[in-house]
Amino acid sequence: MKSIHIYTLIGLLITGLLSSCDDDDKMDPEMPGKVSLMLENKFGDANIDLSSTFTSSKGDKITFSGFEYIISNVELIKEDGSIYAVPDSYYFMGQRSGTDSKREMIEITDIPAGNYKGIKFYVGVDPETNANTDNYEKGELEGGVGMDWGWASGYKFIRWDGSYFNDAENKDVNFSFHIGTDANFKLISNEFGKTITINDDMTSQIHFEVMADKVFDAVGLNEIGLNFPPPADVKTFTGVMVGPEDKATAIANAYAEMFMLHHVHNMEMN
């Protein structure tokens, strides 16, 4: 009998101590809340996956082997216009063949309670942070995992790879859109058209559709052709790394316009 007593005591103690590790659990409208930022990758009406072939308005037939990009410097705009900047907000998004992970959702926690009317974020990495690639202090900016360049320090703001049907060659050839450099760091800014309440008592989601087709509508792969010198081991290749400059700029201008706010949810938690 006595042993039961002791184990009950242990149980209670553990429960007590464990909960003291966490932030206070009970619902409170004054306590910080969280929001999910959903970025759903689309090509027209279809969701992007790594097996389908998509056709752009220019007639390019495109299959992705990777569709990745970086979102950073997220700011939530309060009803009164003041801003909550999410600290160290750097996120690798999207998916790549050969890996299981597909990232379309960012969970932002510890947001001060309040009514919010808009969101800002960037595609890419701010110039200060983009100056070097050993940024372990900053969110998820792990170096050497494919989202940074080795030969010229800096991050790939978008890293889209795949193949398309090249009309002149009459076969599929590879393409790579690897766009970085400070000039291509692009602001995405949206007002919700209403306010959402963020606190410990609410659950919220901000949902964007990421319309990749807009980029391929602006920059035709067959129009670029094969004019970009290939890497040593790829014979037929259409690439826009950081250059040719004009193409990279056109792509960056287009990706700045591809984030379409779809809707926001705001619900009281049960």
Partner 1 sequence: MEKRLILFLLISGIMLACNEDISPDIKPFYIDLDVPEYMGTTVPFPERNPFSKEGIELGRMLFYDPILSSNNQVSCATCHKQELAFSDGMSLSTLGVSGEKLQRHTPALINLAWNNGLFWDGGAKDLESLAFAPLTHPDEMNQDITELVEELKQIPDYKERFKKVFGKDTIQSALIVRALAQFQRSLVSFDSKYDRYLKSGEAGFLNALELEGMQLVEEKCGGCHSGVNFTDLGFHNNGLDAEFPAAPEHVGKGRNRVTLNPEELGAFKTPTLRNIILTAPYMHDGRFKSIDEVLDHYAQNMVNSPTLDTLLTGQNDKIGIPISENEKQAIVAFLHTLTDLSFIQNQAFSNPFKK
Q: Which residues bind to partner 1, rule: CB under 8 A? A: 3, 6, 9-10, 13-14, 17-18, 20-21, 131-137, 142-145, 148-154, 229-232, 242-243, 245
| Residue closer to partner 1 (CB basis): 113 or 242 | 242
Cα distances (angstroms) measured from residue 200 to each of 24, 49, 64, 82: 10, 35, 39, 20
Helix ranges, the chain (H): 2-21, 127-130, 213-218, 221-224, 245-255
CB of 7 to partner 1, least distance (A): 9
Residue 230 has what DSSP assignment? P
Residue 24 has what DSSP assignment? P
- Kindly state the helix (H) or strand (E) to which residue 62 belongs, with its residue range: strand 61-78
CB of 144 to partner 1, least distance (A): 4
Look up residue 148 and give its two tokens: 């940074």
CB of 92 to partner 1, least distance (A): 12
| Residue closer to partner 1 (CB basis): 33 or 154 | 154
CB of 250 to partner 1, least distance (A): 15
Euclidean distance between CA atoms 40 and 92, whole angstroms: 14
| Residue closer to partner 1 (CB basis): 149 or 192 | 149
| Residue closer to partner 1 (CB basis): 29 or 243 | 243
Decide if 164 contacts 221 (C-beta within 8 A): yes
CB of 37 to partner 1, least distance (A): 25
| Residue closer to partner 1 (CB basis): 80 or 100 | 100
